[in-house]
Amino acid sequence: MTDVIDGNAVAADIREGVTECVDVLEDSGVRPGLATVLMSDDPASETYVSMKQRDCEEVGIEGIHVDVDNDAPAQELYDTIESLNDDDAVHGVLVQKPFVDQVDERRVLRTIDPVKDVDAFHPENVGRLVAGDPLFKPCTPHGIQRLLAAADVDPEGKEAVVVGRSDIVGKPMANMLFGRDEGGNATTTVCHSRTADLAEHTRRADIVVAAAGVPEFITGDMLSEGAVVVDVGINRVERNGESTLVGDVAFESAKEKASAITPVPGGVGPMTRAMLLYNTVKAAGLEADVDVPLP
Ligand code: NAD
């Protein structure tokens, strides 16, 4: 029987733990706050931001949202971030991607105060993760690490293959999988768009993390018997005249081979959202010097 890993259930446990952290902070007179910044009129980005605000409300984090006009000069965005860095009511700052053309993405990431960088994309936080001393772990790979633990999958000594080398998923995921901390110690291969023979790598993997953004391209015949498959992809496709969400993994054929697999939706997505709340209460605890019982 293949274990279909329930990301909604694991994320609900994390959120419950975050709520306890909020209570502990409030007992010390601290109300944790997360600021989201949007400089785009992309409807998907608007949806992502409002979901994050709703998540905050649910666990008792103060959600603060700032819209920056998408025609404004980039400096307005950098100034907005600076003022949130200086705002004591704000413990986490998140600037929603993608960025409009006039904005320098690297400058945005560098402008966020590293201690409020709950996405963990600031070069200092990237460096700390690579050095094995993370302040914050990036939400998607951290969520995946928690999903694997919840499914009793210990990567230690296993062959892990990460498909995708992006800064937000592939690279930090690989670092965490081969790192020395709990949930790491796997022998890790990173595949990408220039990999010559992807299936040759995925077929010898005990754990496959698919994060390429290509709909359903990891099929059962590319997997070893008993593999653990984590599907990060979120792809909108037309099926029978209707728009639907699919992952990077062809779920039905992969399920035939896998011992455990994450579904889309309901797998990695809810974990990414939960780990953002986790990082926010962690940031608030660090800033206020309050020991929070992180879940
Ligand atoms: P990205 O476009 O930045 O990177 C994709 C990576 O995949 C690149 O490194 C590229 O080299 C590699 N790639 C592309 N085509 C490939 C192929 N045919 N074979 C092998 N490698 C290939 O994407 P991203 O931001 O890392 O996101 C990846 C997917 O995950 C997207 O579908 C995105 O929507 C989704 N995503 C989901 C969550 C979540 O919470 N579930 C979070 C972030 C991203």
- pLDDT of 191 reads 98
Active site residues: 52, 96, 119
Q: Is 166 annotated as a binding residue?
A: yes
Tokens of 9: 């259930």
Q: Is any ligand 1 atom within 6 A of the Cβ of residue 272?
A: yes
Tokens 């994450």 correspond to 262
Residue span(s) of the chain under CATH 3.40.50.720 come to: 139-270
d(C-alpha 50, C-alpha 277), whole Å? 14
CA 19 / ligand 1 centre spacing (Å): 31
Taking only the tens place, the pLDDT of each residue in 218-261 is 999 999 999 999 999 999 999 999 999 999 999 999 999 999 99
| Other beta carbons within 10 Å of 283 | 25
Residue span(s) of the chain under CATH 3.40.50.10860 come to: 30-113
Give the predicted TM-score (pTM) of the model: 0.97
139-270 domain in CATH 3.40.50.720?
A: yes
| Interface ipTM | 0.99
30-113: CATH superfamily: Leucine Dehydrogenase, chain A, domain 1 (3.40.50.10860)
- pLDDT of 217 reads 98
Q: Which of 97, 169, 246, 278 to mutate to test the pocket of ligand 1 (most atoms within 8 A of CB)?
A: 169
Taking only the tens place, the pLDDT of each residue in 167-196 is 999 999 999 999 999 999 999 999 999 999
Q: Cα 225 vs. chain centroid, distance in angstroms?
A: 27
Q: Which of 140, 144, 192 to mutate to test the pocket of ligand 1 (most atoms within 8 A of CB)?
A: 192
- pLDDT of 103 reads 97
* CA-closest residue to ligand 1 atom 40: 269
